[in-house]
Structure 1
């Protein structure tokens, strides 16, 4: 139930959650009913044992992108450019591999991840103030992941280019412009971008596999895409400014949907300008997350209740930790249920178009009623005779014509797949002209190795790894199986049996 904040309980729960999810240290701040609450637990570095405090600085990673988008929107409101201004108009030197994209890509494309430009160029261009300028020059070879504007694909490179636009229009380095446009006007005392500034505070160290990461942070050229370090309270203050007019005259313009996210089950349903847009129980949610080298950040905003939550962590199972904390906290604060994490179904999904259910009588023996249907179905799938069809389908005749299962499902499937593999290999040996790859070699061993692992796992454990996401039908079929059709269908039928 929604209610008042109990500081003691909230601090205790944060400590319990970081222990449960093996997070070395975490810091939490949230705005609720006009008041900011701050909590911290754990350590900043497991080797030094320095305690995490609410003033500790963590890397907020890609949450930085919302700050860079805000810088652009401040320039838009000043009339320096529009969202539909071509990038090349502001940066004549800008190039990517596709000359048409070079001419047509706009600022809106950059801020909504719809440019299609390959976004994973992490290039160290030095520590100088020209590092972002040099990064943009290196973008000339970036190819397209998809045509311009047709969908959304996450693009770090696009936001670094946006940072260069800020530099060109302000005449200052991105770090300096950030301070003058956002940090100083909001009075943020614990928000920095350069390591020499972070060193003046308690700075968190990222952790990988429970140990300090081999490097503290990313290269300076990635600044506009993910280099801000801050305490959670400063991030909350930044987001709070987006609920009013303290920073932008119309911050809601950044919440306007620009594109549907192809996979709406992870980050959110749509992308705005910088912000990720979602809906929980009919309430608008704007958010953004971030990850660097062993550190993770998450920022959520519920505009209708003016609730803002920021949690920063330095390792462990951060995604599960963030979700567990949000689930508890939003229910406690405003009675809002966080959508559960998308997972595979608890039981195998049966495809009625490809299988006939095998019934079991009260005495535990298989019901014979579906036997003729199973045999007929198997024959239609390409088996040579009803007897071979029944054999492949896992039944055999017994006394009095009664049929029963040969083996437990996992063992049966393992044996069938094993026979498929042996048959394929024999055919490859005796018919090399048909079974060989067009380049003159047998098909890659990789096509056999997953199936061999499937055979071993099913036989040893008496179960089928299909229920854990394994699918023989995803394997490349050999030319022999493609030509004859019998072997591939036998393997698929075995898997279909298990999915009943």
Structure 2
């Protein structure tokens, strides 16, 4: 492949970020009109052994798995075996929420768009518990969630029973509030199983991976054979204020939530997969799904914030004039990943790393800006100034916490006349961009956030990183 003018500047930018975050290994691969256009590896798949990365190195892809799950649902819809507008209780009669009428109103569509009305719940940790107990690096995480019980969630039925017994406040009627839900996608896997008559994993293998020739894509790396070009896992730990990236070879797994984020794949395979959304359902001679179903998947069904929307297992972002960015990120221990498609430009891409908390958004935006001939730090969107009187800012103060363990606080800096978002040791200024809407800038990336009110106009939740965190304590 010939070198492009932008490559040197972009690769220096990438290397600086990877050095800052101590990322052991990464690969960036882009195809244009179905042909490999750019490929670059950084670091190693195993830092200690110094083993290189290539297009066939298998990494975790985390929540990019969610698009595979939605693709399976769309295939079953094309076969007439279900409709995305069916109520989920038609297939999951055991599923319950705190409100029976609400439960009956939830459809498969609401599961696929994270609009079922559930806040972030603590179920993912017990769903991964058996693998966490085998991982010395997960000891602190298990302690953090000990208050929620120590019973593993191994089956779909146990997951539904667990959710049914939890006490929580629903976000609003189905279809009205977006909040990212691993639980919904775990249970979409249940629907795939019950409708198809085979396990979720075997369905994905036989109906998607095999037809596309994705022979380096598995749910369990053991299927690939010993020492078979699989990325070693790493995780960051902060000790006495110093960030260290530790070798952490145990893969986390969850039998009840594999449909939410546990597929592993190579870059070559992921480019094959991304082609489906560029072409309208075909890749490398195989037609997996109809153009109509792809169009339904990439329609912006739910609004996440002032910039981003969500289709079916895929995020939708306006990008440049006349271009739409279809994308999804993935992150779990030892995994940070992002897939993107810009159909109008014929572009598909995949970025994979072997550590959690890698700066994947920065790497991807820098790549897209390079491909489109824009300055590296160009943002997805520009926002006009919006004034909020100092007295109006007071109502946002408080502590917000989710069932997934995330906790942040919002305080008012009266001297500066602005809100400050506090996440652990990090403090970030919030700039108003609209009614109840703000943004913060970290590492030159603008991130929109917003507050959610109840019908009486009282601030109830804070929407951060696609999740709504309930307010648990009022501010000063």
1:34 aligns with 2:29: no
Deviations along 1:357-379, whole A, 9 cap, x unmatched?
xxxxxxxxxxxxxxxxxxxxxxx
CA distance in 2, matches of 1:78, 1:228: 24
Superposed displacement of residue 119, structure 1: 4.2
Q: Distance in 1 between matches of 2:177 and 2:157?
A: 27
- More helix per residue: 1 or 2? 1
Q: Which has the larger radius of gyration?
A: 1
Mapping for residues 434-445 of structure 1, pairs under 5 Å? none
Give per-residue Cα distances to partners, 1:67-111, cap 9 Å, x unaligned: 100000000111111111011112223223321222221100000
- Say if 1:298 and 1:310, in contact at 8 Å, map to a contact too: yes
The separation in 1 between residues aligned to 2:319 and 2:380, in whole angstroms, is: 13
Tell whether the 8 Å contact from 1:21 to 1:316 is kept in structure 2 after alignment: no
Structure 2 vs 1, CA of residues 133 and 325 (structure 1 numbering), >3 Å: closer, same or farther?
Answer: same
- Secondary structure class of the residue paired with 1:252: helix
Deviation at 1:17, TM superposition (A): 4.7
Aligned to 1:405: none
Residue of structure 1 equivalent to 2:394: none
Residue 280 of structure 2 corresponds to which residue in structure 1?
A: 244
Does the Cα contact within 8 Å between 1:85 and 1:106 map onto a contact in 2?
yes
- Within 2, Cα distance between the matches of 1:11 and 1:260? 31
Note the aligned Cα RMSD (angstroms).
3.7
The corresponding residue for 1:302 is 342
Structure 1 runs of 4+ with >6 Å offset = 125-130, 341-345, 349-355, 463-468
In structure 2, distance between residues paired with 1:354 and 1:109: 38
Other-structure match for 1:274: 313
Superposed, 1:241-390 pairs within 5 Å as 241-242=276-277, 243-245=279-281, 246-250=287-291, 251-261=294-304, 263-265=305-307, 268=308, 270-282=309-321, 283-315=323-355, 318-319=358-359, 322-335=360-373, 339-340=378-379
Query: Secondary structure at 1:95's aligned position in 2?
Result: coil
Per the alignment, do residues 351 and 151 of structure 1 end up closer, same or farther by CA in structure 2, a change over 3 Å counting?
closer
- Bigger relative contact order (CA 8 A; separation at least 6): 2
SS in 2 for 1:290: strand
CA contact (8 A) 1:114 1:153 kept: yes
- Residue number in structure 2 paired with 1:396: none
Determine if the alignment matches structure 1 residue 225 to structure 2 residue 268.
no
Over 3 Å counting, the alpha-carbon distance change for 1:280 and 1:12 in structure 2 is closer
* Cα contact 1:115–1:148 (8 A) shared by 2: yes
The alpha carbon displacement at 1:312 in A equals 0.7
Cα distance in structure 1, aligned partners of 2:30 and 2:296: 24
Partners of 1:272 and 1:64 lie apart in 2 by 14
Structure (1/2) with the larger strand percentage = 2
CA distance in 1, matches of 2:195, 2:300: 26
Shift in alpha-carbon separation, 1:138–1:189, aligned structure 2, 3 A: same
Give the distance between the partners of 1:218 and 1:284, measured in 2 at CA. 33
TM-score (norm 2): 0.66
1:239-277 Cα shifts (integer Å, max 9, x gaps):
10222332111211111121211x335xx2x11111111
